[in-house]
Structure 1
Amino acid sequence: MSSSTSPFPGPVELAGEGVVLREWTEGDLAAMPGLFDHTDIAYWTPLVSPFDAAAARARLDRARRLKADGTALLLAITADGGTPLGEVMLRRVPEGIELGYVVGPAHRGQALAVRAVLVSAGYAFGQLGADQVILELEAENSASVAVAKGAGFTLLDVPLIEGEEKGRPYLLQTWGLTSR
């Protein structure tokens, strides 16, 4: 797949595995701080902290801009298309599609991330033409590693990605899933 920057088709709503992934709306702004303003989310993700009403507005605006640019989709994870429980990101990269995910602390333990990753990967393969879907994870993030394994991803034999976020150095492993 090329790293095309054509806009994503819209509106995007993906359903399966007992979840509905949909675009963020103005009505979600009040719920976003409760999902994203948490110490482990601040530690493991690039989301701003504290995550307040201004951060929620910036996230919604960014989601709309990234979609229009054809760069990425930021979708709310829901059970039925209603209340957001987390977020899944699909980002175009040279390797195919990179996924990222976060589930609000009150909604963990329900395999929401695994299910959202499976639905997102299916969309990446079936609708976006990706040959491969990747996850970039820190080995110490046991919850994310469990999601990768639960969704059938395997650790790829590629160099670690070194970086720094919020003043903290990190090393990312790359996990992959290929179209069947």
Structure 2
Amino acid sequence: MTTDHGHRRAFPAAVHLTGHGVVLREWTDRDPAAMVELFDDPAVAYWTPLVSPFDLAAARAYLQRARRARAADERLHLAITTDGHEPKGEVLLSRWVGGEDEASIGYSVGAAHRGQGLAIRAVNVLTEFALTTLGLARVLLEIEPGNAASVAVARGAGFHLTDMPPVEEIEKGRPITLLTWARDRWV
């Protein structure tokens, strides 16, 4: 989305989102140990681009990359919490996928916190923020067809499978195919 002066709308200076029983907050310097607990997991290693093993050094490096992306107004990484404190996962918004009116969301929930609907709720909150506060026209999810948990999140959060061509990539040495799911502002 652009403003009346033709510039894309920047992320707010501070982002703290609540709704659907979750609180999304930015990662802090106190979080790397919790990030290790959440992301050093075989399922996270398989389905996401995060490094494995995901140790304390990896967590600190990830936090620094997230902060650089945030400063460049490219990506917003938020801890998924239910109380505003203890991280249970992450949801992130990467802007301007196919143009200034689109962004994509990625998410991961720690093994100890799965099965509670946290990913669906977090995706809903971040999607609503993107479509309303940022004024985007469309939010996308890119999901491997075999990732049943993520397909369930997409459906549960009101996304629909698009007819966009599959994205073919090599991730960590393995070929992957990503299908695109979308939720539009005016649907």
Q: TM-score per shorter chain, which class?
A: over 0.9
Q: Are the equivalent residues in 2 in contact too, given 1:6–1:69 (CA < 8 A)?
A: no
- Corresponding pairs, count: 179
Deviation at 1:94, TM superposition (A): 2.2
Q: 1:27 to 1:106 in 2, by over 3 A?
A: same
Mapped to 2, the partners of 1:10 and 1:29 lie a distance apart of 22
TM-score (norm 2): 0.92
TM-score (norm 1): 0.96
Which string of whole-angstrom CA distances, capped at 9 and with x for unpartnered residues, describes residues 125-172 of structure 1?
111111000000000000000000000100001100000010010000
Where do residues 22-171 of structure 1 align in structure 2 (5 Å cutoff)?
22-92=25-95, 93-95=97-99, 96-171=102-177
Q: Are the equivalent residues in 2 in contact too, given 1:7–1:67 (CA < 8 A)?
A: no
Mapped to 2, the partners of 1:40 and 1:139 lie a distance apart of 15
Deviates more, 1:20-29 or 1:86-95: 86-95
Identical amino acids, percent of aligned pairs? 57
Mapped to 1, the partners of 2:12 and 2:22 lie a distance apart of 20
Q: Are the equivalent residues in 1 in contact too, given 2:9–2:134 (CA < 8 A)?
A: no
Mapped to 2, the partners of 1:121 and 1:66 lie a distance apart of 19
Mapped to 1, the partners of 2:106 and 2:178 lie a distance apart of 13
Aligned to 2:12: 9
Mapped to 1, the partners of 2:78 and 2:66 lie a distance apart of 8
Mapped to 1, the partners of 2:154 and 2:21 lie a distance apart of 18
Q: Are the equivalent residues in 2 in contact too, given 1:8–1:68 (CA < 8 A)?
A: no
Structure 1 residue ranges without an equivalent (≥5): none
Q: Are the equivalent residues in 2 in contact too, given 1:5–1:70 (CA < 8 A)?
A: no
Give 3-state SS (helix, strand or coil) of 2:88's partner: strand
Mapped to 2, the partners of 1:39 and 1:32 lie a distance apart of 14
